[in-house]
Amino acid sequence: MPIPEERRISAEPTKEFFISMLVKDIELPRAIIDLVDNSLDGARRIRPEGDFEGLFIRVEASPKYFKITDNCGGIPVEMARKYAFRFGRPQEMKPTPHSVGQFGVGMKRALFKLGKAFSVESTTRRSRFVVSEDVEVWKNKKEWEYELKELEEGLNVPSDRTGTTIIVKPLHLSIAAEFELESFQTRLANQIAEAHAESMGRGLGITLGKLPLKFRPLDLLQSDRLGPAYQEMSFGTGRSRVEVKIYAGISESKPSEAGWYIFCNGRLVLGADQSLTTGWGEGGEQTIPKYHNQYARFRGYAVFDSDDASKLPWKTTKTGVDADSPSFRAVRLKMITLMRPVIDFLNRLDAEKDREAGDPKPLAAAVNQAKPVVLEDVRSRPTFLAPKPLVVPRGPEMGRIQYSKPLEQIKRVRRQLKAKSYKEIGEKTFEYYLKMECSD
Amino acid sequence: MPGSYKDVNYRIRPAKSVQRKMLCEAFQRLSEFGSLKSYRYVGLPATFFSDFILLHRVLGIHNMVGIEVDPLEKKRFEFNLPFRCIKMRYGHSNAILPQLDWDLRTILWLDYDDPLSTSVLTDVGFFFAEAPAGSVMVVTLDARPDPDQDEADEETDEPRLTRLNKKVGEENVPRDVREQDLADWGTAFTYHRIVTDAIRRTVIERNGSRPLPNQLVYEQLFYFCYADGPKMVTVGGLLYERSQGKPLDRCGFKDLDFIRSGPRNGSKPCFIEVPSLTFREIRHLDSQLPRDKGKRLRAPRVPVTDLKRYERIYRYFPAFAEAEL
């Protein structure tokens, strides 16, 4: 029964409110990566087995316009009519298995954030459509609708001609100014490459501007004596089954890259995390210490996969994990268990540095011998494998000498001694004195 | 920053001297924004104070601040102060700049002897975060592909790109820069891009809180490359408000041949190359300049390239003589 006029309170959202709320939620590079996610979902629809060789996504973020083009199969008209342009994902929609575009906001949010007008053109094997809209005009219309400006169905398009092109033009002034910055281009390139390293590893080519993105496969050091922990877990059944692979080990010493990496359906959602979210500082630092640069070699990867993307622990912005989700909490416990032996090893490795030159350093030697291997080649092992600390026979008791001298004098002595380092200058001058003045 | 004045007499670096006079001539045009006397000059003087002397004499600026990193050199600097109106501050420019009063229209010349680093970008960023409209910043850098290594640093065979990434932060290096792009003058060109980008980024951030007419614009004016010895690069320009119109036209910067501004012209450096000429040749060439179109400069046996170089800089050509002035 309709509410009588005098008793009716309007609770309809205004578009203005909706748009301004949405775009504030997300950083610019992340909004663009959402569009890349959508293209990738296309790739997953046409290549469910996950071989993306020959597929590309090309992004252009120029001061005049934004453009993303792919050959990833296109958006079916039916999907465009019912879902792709809606805010939020309707329950009845059949999701793309293994999808990364999960929440039904990514594309719209990105379009509004970038500019004042957009067009989306998409071609599949059977259909082709164009939606274009001036956001300012659309905002003032009452209806929550878009029009398919062009529509063709019942086509027979060769699969290499399918794909989607999105253009946003004109851009908001502030966005155009950002796009002009070379440092923004660098940041965007790094973030896209990081987010989609997994898909690029499967052959997907992504370019930003004229340059292809460089991707570095995730790796861990492995040898007969040193090897990462690698365990698998799973929850649920059928379509909503979640499979998790957890790796903990060491790699190159690089503080900015150390920490945990969390992936959901191949998409990085948390990178190089060194916070309590992934266990650092757990148990008042008793269980796991807080991150410190002596752990710069630590790398941990937790890779979540599910056909039903809603079962994965990500947030709508895909930045960070939903720390309260039951599956993440269970996995986090396992992460902590696996990382503890790595932390202990890195502590021992650090302590070994204080040994005198010439003394054996078995841990450092083991690290240097180990080779980086990609995750697929990591051997399954319940705990981190590391050489036992050697009990070394103690040599003569050593002392350490340290002093400062005027640089100009140091240079003169260094030249005379042909010494390569300050340390060598110290040792050679000491040995010289010992030989010349202290012979028994 | 410290030290090189001990090795080289700043006044006899000819290209640097030409650049100094060109900058001074450009600064004169700033009177559109307010009397030059109201400007403050902030610089890194070295004991010669060449820039301070020139700007005080020619522009009449008397609010002058010199920054010297080494407080132990204080006595020497104070002894060499050419004018009473110069106030010296001792400390690192990263620390001193934020201590100054930034309500004043300022000409800042960060005349470093160092390669580009995050410390340089900090100074540049600070200036553009604080300086009022009408201010000008110039930064000069050692742009050798392989600058002197720190004595204690034993890793000397690192690729140039790796070194650059470490020195200025990977996120600041443009994506398309490859190892071979840093050879010869390439390091200078890359520094120009990185500095310009850092300036633009700061200006964008600062504009976030300003209404459109009051938004600030960075207009590059200077992009010099020269090598009295090591390769050097100078980048700089003007900060103004949108509401102030088009200062480039109004101030007449465009009449000056060495100005480098705008998307196309701004990315081509002005090379200052000082030909080696005798006084007699100089006087002979001067008598033919400025030249009518179509007329050729003549001097017996002087190479054409030198004639061209001289013509570009003759008004700023240094006259060195062995005399105490």
pLDDT confidence bin for B156, thresholds 50/70/90: low
Q: What is the DSSP track for A20-66? A: HHHHHTS-HHHHHHHHHHHHHHHHHHH-TT---TT-EEEEEE-SS-E
Are residue A95 and residue A163 in the same domain, yes or no?
yes
CA pair distance B271, A348, nearest whole angstrom: 56
- Provide the pLDDT for residue B119: 95
Three-state SS for B4-48 is HHHCCCHHHCHHHHHHHHHHHHHHHHHHHHCCHHHCEEEECCCCC
CATH code of the domain covering residue A43: 3.30.565.10
**pLDDT, greater one: B105 or B317:** B105
- The answer to whether residues A160 and A202 belong to one domain is yes
Which chain A residue's Cα is nearest to B172? A183
- Let me know if residue A401 belongs to a domain: no
- Whether the CB-CB separation of A159 and A123 falls below 8 Å is answered with no
Q: Which pLDDT tens digit goes with each residue over B158-216?
A: 899 999 999 999 889 999 999 999 999 999 999 999 999 999 999 999 998 888 889 99
Cα distances (angstroms) measured from residue B178 to each of A97, A341, B156, B162, B173: 40, 40, 19, 10, 10
Predicted confidence band of residue B4 (pLDDT cuts 50, 70, 90)? low
Chain A CB contacts of B149 under 8 Å are none
Contacts of A178 in chain B (CB under 8 A): 204
Instruction: Calculate how close chain B gets to A187, using CA atoms only, in Å.
Output: 6
Same-domain pairing of A36 and A176:
yes
Which chain A residue has its CA at the smallest distance from B209's CA?
A174
Q: Is position A310 within any domain?
A: yes
Q: Count of CB contacts below 8 A, A vs B?
A: 44
Residue A102 forms part of a structural domain: yes
| Assigned domain for A140 exists | yes
Chain B contact present for A411, CB below 8 A: yes
Radius of gyration over every alpha carbon of chain B, rounded to an integer in angstroms: 20
Cβ within 8 Å, pair B197-A182: yes
Mean pLDDT of A150-169: 93
Contacts of A402 in chain B (CB under 8 A): none
Q: What is residue A81's DSSP assignment?
A: I
DSSP B176: T
pLDDT tens-place string over residues A42-99: 999 899 888 999 999 999 999 999 999 999 999 999 888 888 887 776 666 666 777 7
A200-248 residue pLDDT tens: 989 999 999 999 998 888 889 999 999 999 999 998 888 889 999 999 9
Q: Is A185 on the interface with B (CB under 8 A)?
A: yes
Taking the CA of residue A183 and the nearest CA in chain B, the distance in Å comes to 5
CA dihedral B89, B91, B92, B97 (to 10 degrees): -40
Region A303-321 average pLDDT: 86
Q: Are residues A186 and A320 in the same domain?
A: no
Assess A187–B contact: CB distance below 8 Å, yes or no.
Answer: yes
Quick one: pLDDT at residue B61?
A: 95
- For residue range A125-140, what is the model confidence (pLDDT) as tens digits? 999 999 999 998 888 8
Q: How confident is the model at residue B1 (pLDDT cuts 50, 70, 90)?
A: very low
Q: What integer pLDDT is reported at residue B8 of this predicted model?
A: 53
CATH code of residue A275: 3.30.230
Same-domain status, A139 and A103: yes
Strand bridging mode B216-226 / A128-134? unpaired
Say which range, A137-146, A252-261, B6-15, B114-123, has the weakest mean pLDDT: B6-15
- Phi, psi dihedral angles at B101 (to 5 degrees): -85, 120
Residue A20 is assigned to a structural domain of this protein: yes
Share of chain A above pLDDT 70, in %: 95
| Mutation target among A182, A185, A211, A420 for the B interface, most CBs of B within 10 A | A182
What integer pLDDT is reported at residue A227 of this predicted model? 93
The verdict on A202 and A255 lying in the same domain is: no
* A178 in reach of chain B (CB within 8 A): yes
pLDDT of residue B162: 92
For A164-212, the pLDDT digits (tens) are 999 999 999 989 999 999 999 999 999 999 999 989 989 999 999 999 9
Question: In sequence order, what E strands does A236-315 have?
Answer: 242-250, 259-264, 267-273, 298-306
Same domain, yes or no, for A275 and A326?
Answer: yes
Assess whether A185 and A247 both reside in one domain: no
Q: What is residue A104's DSSP assignment?
A: S
Phi, psi (degrees; rounded to nearest 5) at A133:
-150, 140
Across the interface, whether the CB atoms of B175 and A177 are under 8 A apart is answered: no
Which token pair is B67? Answer: 């920054």
Q: Band of the pLDDT at A286, cuts 50, 70, 90?
A: confident
Tell me which of B67 and A421 has the higher pLDDT.
B67
Instruction: Flag if B171 and A180 touch (Cβ within 8 Å).
Output: no
Question: pTM for this structure?
Answer: 0.81
Burial of B9 (0-12, 13-18, 19+ CB in 10 A): exposed
Q: Which of A211, A407, A421 sits opposite B175 (nearest CB)?
A: A211
Contact A410 B151 (CB under 8 A): yes
* Tally of domains in chain A: 2
3-class secondary-structure state, position A247: strand
State whether A351 and A206 are in the same domain.
no
CB-nearest partner of B151 from A174, A178, A407: A407
Q: What is the per-residue pLDDT for B2? A: 46
Q: Which long-range contacts (CB under 8 A, 24 or more apart) does B301-308 make?
A: B302/B275, B302/B277, B305/B275, B306/B275, B306/B276, B306/B277, B307/B275
Q: Where are the alpha helices (DSSP H) in B116-268?
A: 118-130, 160-168, 186-207, 247-250
Average pLDDT rounded to a whole number, residues A275-281: 94
**What are the φ/ψ torsions at residue A437 (nearest 5 degrees)?**
-110, -20
Confidence band of A393 (pLDDT split at 50, 70, 90): low
Residue of A nearest to B207 (CA): A174
The single-letter code of the amino acid at B90 is: Y
Q: Domain for residue A382, yes or no?
A: no
Range of the domain at A198: 15-212
Report the sign of the C-alpha dihedral through residues B69, B73, B75, B76, in that order.
negative
Render pLDDT for B108-133 as a digit per residue (tens, 0 to 9). 999 998 999 999 999 999 999 999 99
Which residues in chain B are closer than 8 Å to A182, comparing Cβ atoms? 174-175, 193-194, 197
Residue-wise pLDDT for A328-386, tens only, equals 999 999 999 999 999 999 999 998 887 766 777 888 989 999 999 998 889 888 899 98
Looking at residue A215, what DSSP letter applies? -
Whether A106 and A176 map to the same domain: the answer is yes
Cβ separation of A186 and B152 shorter than 8 Å? no
What pLDDT is attached to residue A58? 97
pLDDT score, position B96: 95
Shortest Cα distance from A276 to chain B (angstroms)? 26
pLDDT at residue B11 above 70? no
CB atoms within 10 A of CB A74: 29
* Interface predicted TM-score (ipTM) over 0.90: no
Is residue B97 within 8 Å of B124, Cβ to Cβ?
no
> Which chain A residue is nearest to residue B170, measuring alpha carbons?
A186
Q: Which residue of A has its CA nearest to B197?
A: A181
The answer to whether A177 faces chain B, any CB pair under 8 Å, is yes
Alpha carbon distance B15, B23 (integer Å): 12
Whole-number Å distance between alpha carbons of A298 and A273: 11
Same domain, A223 and A340: yes
Q: Is residue A47 part of a domain?
A: yes
- pLDDT at residue B266, rounded to an integer: 94
Are A66 and A186 contained in the same domain?
A: yes
Alpha-carbon torsion A2, A3, A5, A10, what sign?
A: negative
List, in order of start, the domains of chain B with CATH numbers: 4-272 (3.40.50.150), 279-316 (no CATH)
Residues of chain A above pLDDT 90, percent: 57
Determine the longest span between alpha carbons in chain B, in angstroms: 62
Nearest C-alpha of chain B: how many angstroms from A54? 24
pLDDT at B21 over 80: yes
> A43-52, A160-169, B226-235, B314-323: which range is least confident on average?
B314-323
Who's near A377: CB < 8 A, 6+ residues apart? Answer: A222
Closest CA of chain B from A45, distance in Å: 32
- Is residue A418 in some structural domain? no
Mark yes or no for CB contact B171/A187 under 8 Å: yes
